[in-house]
Structure 1
Amino acid sequence: MPSSVLARDLDDERIIIEEREGELIEDHDDHQSFYKAIQNQEYDRVNSLLEDKKVKVTEKITTNGNTALHLVIGTTKMNYILKKILVEMTPEENIILDMKNLEGSTLLHVAAIVGNTEAAELLVEKNEYLLFTKDKEGHTPLARALLNMHTDTYKYLLSSTTNTDDIERATDLFQGTSGDDLLVNAISSKYYDLALLLSKPYKNIHSDAPLMAIAQNFPRKLSIWERNVYKCVGNPKQTFAKIYMVVMICIILFSVIYYFTYAAPRNRSAHRRMKPEALIFYLFALFVLYVIIICIVNILSSRAISRIYKPVMRAILRISKPVIRLLATIDFKFLKEGAKMNNDARDLLKAICDLIKRSTPSGSHRDYYNNPILEASRQNAYEVVVTIASYFPNAIWSANEDGHNIIQYAVINRSEKVYNLLYQMSEQKNIYRTIQDPLGNNLLHLAARLAPTNKLNPISGAALQIQSELKWFQEVKGFVCPPNIIKKNCFGETPHMVFTREHKELVIEGEKWMKATANSYTITAALITTIMFASAITVPGGNYQETINGRNNQEAGTPIFAKKTAFRIFAIADAVSLFTSVTSLLMNLSILTSRFSEKDFLLKLPTKLIVGLTTLFISTTAMLVAFGATLYLVFGDDNPRILGSIAALTCLPITSFVTLQYPLIRDQISSTYGRSIFGKKSDRPFY
C-alpha cells in the first residue's frame, strides 16, 4: 500500500476519534450541567436541556445509574416536566417507565422514596404494573414509601394496590414472608393507623412477626393527668362551661358565708378583725363546696336529668365565646397524637389476633402467640398480654426455653403491670404461689435475681435501685406460700441467699452513693449553721449602747431595727434556717454512721435522706430570705423598688436549687412513701 494512502487513512481515523471524543466531552458537560441544575433547583435550565434534546430522559446521569427522568421525579417541583413527557409518550415508548438504576429502583420507587405523591399518581395511571416491581433489596414502592415515612404517598400506593385490576398480583403482595415484612415495617415505624389500613387486605398471617412487632413497639398508656387533659381538650366548650359554672357558684356561696360570718358582725363592731383561723376555715369551706358542686355538675351533665342545667350551660357558652375560642386554639397535639396512637395500636392488635384466629387451625395458634406474649410480658405491655389471652386463653401458659411462663417472666423482668394481673385472676392465681421452674426456683427465687439493666437504669441512684429491688422481693414474699420463703432450689440456695448474692455489688454501690450524697449535704448544712449562728449574734444595724450622751439607756442591748417588720422577718428566717440546718446536719451524719445493711435501704436510709435534703432546702431558702431582709434593712430606706429587686434576686438561687435537687427528692419521696406499683388495678377478671 502506498504511503500516501496509509497516511490519508490514519488521518481519517484520527479525525473520527477526535470527533467521538468531542461528542463524549460535550455529552459529559451536558450531563454535569443537568445534574447541577437539578441540585441548584434551576428548573428552567433543566427544562431547556430536555427540550433542546441535549439530555435525553433515558440517559444515565449519575454513577448509580439514575437517568434524567429519575432525577426529575426526585424533586417534587418538576412534575410538570414528567406530566409533559407522559402525555407525549407513545405506547411503544412505555418501556421508558421500566427503567431501573443500579439499585433496581424504578421511577415509582424514586417517587416513593422522596414522597412525590403527584408523580406516583401520574406513573401508576400510565403503568399500573410499576406497583408490583421490586428493587434489588426486594422492596416494592409501597414498602419504600413506608420505610421513608411518607404517609401520603404510602396511603395512595396502598389504595392503588388494593383497588387494582390485577387481583392476583395484589393478593401475592400481601401473602407470605414479604407480606409479613410489609406489615412489620409499618408497626416498627409506629404507624399503627397505616398498619391497620394495611392489614385489611390480608387473608392470613405467615408468621408471628407482626404480633411480635406489636409486643415490642406497643405505645405506653396515657397517664391519669394526660387522660384528664385530653378529655378537656376533646370538648373545650363543655369543659369551660363546667369550670365556669362551678367557680361562679363557689364565689356566690363564699360571698354569702363571708357576709353573714364576718362583714355583718363587723358593721356592728368596727374594731373586730378577721382571725387567721377563720380565714383557714373559709378556704377549707370553699374547697369542700368546690368538690361537692363539681360532683353535682358531673351527675347532672352525665344523666341529663336537670331542666335548668342545659339552658344555663347554653347561656354560659354564648357569653363566653371569646374565651372558648382561645381555649380551643391551645395546642395539645402531643396528647391527641398519643391518644390516637393508643387507640390505633389497640385496634391493630385485635385485628391481627382475629386474623390469626380465623385463618389458621386452632392447633397451630401457639406458634403465633407464644413468643409475642412472652415479649409483651418482658416489655411490660400488659394490654397486649390481656388481649392475646382473651383471643387465645391457653396463651397464659406460654413458656420460654427456660420453662418460665408470663408471670414468672414478668417477675424476672420487673414488669409490674403484667405481674399485677395476678390480682385479677380467680383461684388460678394460687398455682403461682407454689409454681417452680425446672431448676427448682419458685417465684421468690426469681424475684431475688438482679433486675435487667434496662429496668435499673431509669432509677436515679444506686440507693433507689436497691430499694426498688427490695420492694419487689417483699411483694413476692407476701404472695408465695410461707414454706417457699425458705425453700431451696436445686443449687441449695434459699431466695434470700440468691438476693444477697445477686445484689452484693449493688448494695456496695448504694452505700457509696448514699455516703457521697450525705457527705456533700453535711458540708453545706455545716456552713449554713455557722453563718446563721453568727448572724443571730451580730444582728443587722447593731444594738443600742448602754449610755447615750452620758445617760443610761433603757433599751441598751436591744437591736436598733427591732421594731421594723423587715427585722422580724430576718429574725424568724434566721431561726428557721439555723434549726433546719442543724437538723439536716444531724440526719446526714446519721447516714454516714449507718450499717448499710440490705433492709436499711428499704425505709430507714431513704427516710433519713429525705429529711436531710428537705430541711437543707428549707434552711437554704430561709437563709436567703434573712439575707434579703438584712439588705433591705440596711440599704432599702423603705423603698418598694429595692424590695422588689431583692425579692427577684432571692428567687434566682432558690429556683436553681429546686430545679437541680427537686428530681432527687421527688423520686425519694415517691419511691418511699408514694402509691405502691403493686396491687389490683382493675376489677375486670383476667383468667
Structure 2
Amino acid sequence: MNNLERSNPSQEIEGPGPVDSTEPITTNIQEAVRVDIALPNTPSPSQIFTPGRQEYLNLCVPLYQAALKGKWKDAEVIIGKNNHMVRAAVTRNQETTLHIAAATKHKTFVKHLLTKMSKSDLALKNKDDNTAICFAAASGTKKIAEMMVDKNEDLPMIRGNGKVTPLYMAALFGHREMVLYLYDKTDFGSLGASELVDLFHAIIGADIYDVALKMFEWKQSLATSQNSSREIALHLMARKPTAIGREIQLNIFKRLANSIFEGLYFEDKMMALAHQLVESMWKLVVKLPEPKVSELLRTPTRLLFDAASSGNVEFLVILIRAYPDLLWKVDERNQSLFHIAALNRHESIFNIIYELGSIKDLIAAYKEVSTRNNMLHLVASLPPPGRLQIVSGAALQMQRELLWFKKHENHVFGEIEKLSFLTKTENCVFAPKPKNHVFSKIAMMFSANCKIKFLTKTANSLFIR
C-alpha cells in the first residue's frame, strides 16, 4: 500500500494528476491482487474525486496525515466543510481517506468516517483496483471489515487487485479471524473453478485448517483440482512437516479444556484438523484410476519425495496406510522414500523401514542409477549442510554422524550383504577398509575443520590491536 510509510506527506507526496484509463496498473499487495467490480444489481459506485493542486495541498494532505495518525477530530473539521472530500484521492495511487484509515487499523476513525459516506462511496477503488475493504483484509482488522460490510453488504464480492476477493487477500496474509468472518460473507457460487482452487490453497497455506476442511466438505473435488502450477492441495501439505498431528482428533481431556478455556490447545486442534484434511483428501485421490494417481503424485514435483526430504512423517504414514504400494515408489534416480530419508537424516521416516520385515531387504538393495550407491552408502554419506548443522561444532557433528551410522549399519544389511554391497564411491564417508579405518574419512574431514577453527581463534587472540 503505497505512501503509507511517509512521515511528512506535505513534503513528499505529489498531488494526483488526471486519471488515465490507459495507464498500466501495478501490483501492490503481495503477489496477487487486482479487482473487477461490480456485481449485477449493485448500484454504480461513486467516482473518485481528483482535486486540483491547491486543493490537494490544503485539504488532502491534512486528511492523509489525520488518517495515518487516527486523528478524527482533525479530519472532521475538513470533511464537515467539504463533504466531497470523503471521495477525494489523497495519494498519487488514488487511495481515499478510508483506504488509509483501514490500512492503518484506526477503528474509531473508520467508525466516524463511515457516517459521512454513502454506500457506494465504500466501493471506490484506487489505481490498483483495490477497495478499502481489501486494505482491511490485508491488515487483518476484523472490526473495520465488519463496519464496512454493515454499510455495504456487496463489498466481500468486489474483487481487488489480481481479480481476487478480499477473502483471498486475508488468507494470503494469514489473518485467521478475518478469514473466518469473510468466509461467511462470500458467495462461493459466483466464484470460478480456478478462483476456488486458489482460495482453497491460500487457506491451507495460511494453516487455517478448520476453514479449509469446511471448504473441502462443501466441494470435495478441490482435493484433486490443480492450480496454475499444476499442484494439488496435497503438494502443499507434503511441504509442511510440523503441520500434521499424529492423532485425527484431540483426546477427551484436551477437548474438554478447549471448551472451557478457548484456544488452550489451539495448535493441537489445528494439527488434528490437518490430519483429517490430508486423510480425507487422500481417500478421494486413491479412488481415481492408477494412471491418474501416478500423474498427480509426480506432477509438477514428486509429492512423496517432497514429504520425505522435508521430514513429513505423519503425511507419509497417512498415505502409505491407505495405499501401501507407495513403499515401492522410486524417483528418477531409483531412490525410494527411505533412501531420501536416510540421506536427509530424517530418522522418524527411516525407522519405518524396520517395520516392513523382509521387504526392507529388497528396498535397501535399490541402487542409485548414476553412482550405483545403495542405501548403506547413503547412511554413510554426509547429509546436506542444513541437516548437518542441526548441532553446532565439528566435534559434535562428527559424534552425531558416527552414532547414526553405527545405529543403522547392521540393521539395514546383514554382515554378508553389507560386505557384498559396500563399494567405495566418491561421496561415501565410510569406505570398505579394515575395521580400524572405517571412520577415517569423516574423522579426517572433521579434524581438518576443527584445526582451521582452532588456528583462526588462536590467530585472533594473538592479533595486536
With normalisation by structure 1, the TM-score equals 0.49
Of the three residues 336, 348, 358, the one matched with 1:405 is 336
Match of 1:140 among 158, 165, 188: 165
**CA offsets 1:189-237 (integer angstroms, 9 cap, x no match):** 33333433343344332143522222222327899xxxxxx9988779x
Aligned to 1:214: 237
Structure 2 unmatched runs, 5+: 1-50, 433-437, 459-465
Q: Does 1:363 align with 2:296?
A: no
Q: Does 1:448 align with 2:380?
A: yes
What is the aligned partner in structure 1 of residue 145 from structure 2? 120
Q: Does the 8 A contact of 2:378 with 2:428 survive in 1?
A: no
Structure 2 contact 110–144 (Cα < 8 Å) conserved: yes
CA contact (8 A) 1:461 1:513 kept: no
Q: Tell me, yes or no, if structure 1 residue 100 matches structure 2 residue 125.
A: yes
Is the 1:221–1:342 Cα contact (8 Å) retained in structure 2? yes
Determine the C-alpha separation between the residues in 2 that align with 1:182 and 1:502. 51
**Alpha-carbon offset, residue 374 of structure 1:** 1.1
SS in 2 for 1:383: helix
Q: Kindly tell me: are residues 143 and 462 of structure 1, through their superposed partners in 2, closer, same or farther at Cα, counting changes over 3 Å?
A: same
What secondary structure, in the 3-state scheme, does the structure 2 residue paired with 1:57 have? helix
Give 1 or 2 for the bigger CA radius of gyration: 1
| Deviation for aligned residue 1:511 | 5.6
Q: Secondary structure at the match of 2:177?
A: helix
Listed one character per residue, the Cα deviations across residues 116-166 of structure 1 (whole Å, up to 9, x for unaligned) are: 4344345446656543444334542112112333222211111222xx3x7
Map residues 146-545 of structure 1 onto 2, 5 A cutoff.
146-161=171-186, 164=187, 167=189, 169-170=190-191, 172=192, 175-176=193-194, 178-202=195-219, 203-204=221-222, 205-206=225-226, 207-219=230-242, 333=264, 336-357=265-286, 360-370=288-298, 371-438=302-369, 439-478=371-410, 479-486=412-419, 487=421, 496-497=430-431, 503=442, 506-509=445-448, 512=451
Q: Is the 8 A contact 2:309 2:344 kept in 1?
A: yes
Q: Deviations over 1:529-583 (max 9, x none)?
A: xxxxxxxxxxxxxxxxxxxxxxxxxxxxxxxxxxxxxxxxxxxxxxxxxxxxxxx
Q: 1:84 aligns to what? A: 115
Q: CA deviation at 1:54?
A: 5.4
Correspondence for 2:67 among 38, 41, 47: 38
* 2:430/2:441 contact within 8 Å kept: no
Q: Tell me the percent identity.
A: 22
Aligned length, in residue pairs: 381
Which SS does the other structure have where 2:239 is aligned? helix
Q: How does 1:549-564 map to 2 (within 5 A)?
A: none
| Aligned CA distance change for structure 1 residues 400 and 183 (closer, same or farther; 3 Å) | farther
Q: Does 1:49 align with 2:49?
A: no
Q: 1:513 offset after TM fit, Å?
A: 9.4
* Matched position secondary structure for 2:184: helix
Matching residue's letter, 1:480: F
Structure 2 residue 87 is matched with structure 1 residue 58: yes
Contact 1:34 1:49 (C-alpha < 8 Å) held by counterparts: yes
Distance 1:445 1:36, change over 3 A: same
Q: The residue matched to 2:115 in structure 1 has which SS?
A: helix
CA distance in 1 between counterparts of 2:289 and 2:382 reads 40
Match of 2:156 among 126, 131, 139: 131
Matched residues in 2 for 1:480 and 1:382: separation? 23
Other-structure match for 1:71: 100
Distance 2:326 2:365 in 1: 20
Give the Å deviation of 1:354.
3.2
What RMSD in Å do the two structures reach over aligned CA positions? Answer: 3.7
SS in 2 for 1:200: helix
Evaluate the alpha carbon distance shift between residue 120 and residue 393 of structure 1 in structure 2; reply closer, same or farther with a 3 A threshold: same
Q: TM-score, normalised by structure 2?
A: 0.70
Q: Judging changes above 3 Å, is the alpha-carbon distance between structure 1 residues 54 and 97 closer, same or farther for their aligned structure 2 residues?
A: closer
C-alpha deviation, 1:505, in angstroms: 5.5
Does the aligned pair in 2 maintain the 1:373–1:406 contact within 8 Å? yes
**Gap change, CA 1:460 and 1:502, over 3 Å in 2:** same
The Cα of 1:386 is off from its aligned counterpart by: 0.7
2:43 alignment partner in structure 1: none
Give the conservation status (yes or no) of the 8 Å contact 2:282–2:319.
Answer: yes
* Distance 1:452-1:23 versus aligned 2 partners, 3 A rule: closer
Letter in 2 for 1:496: F
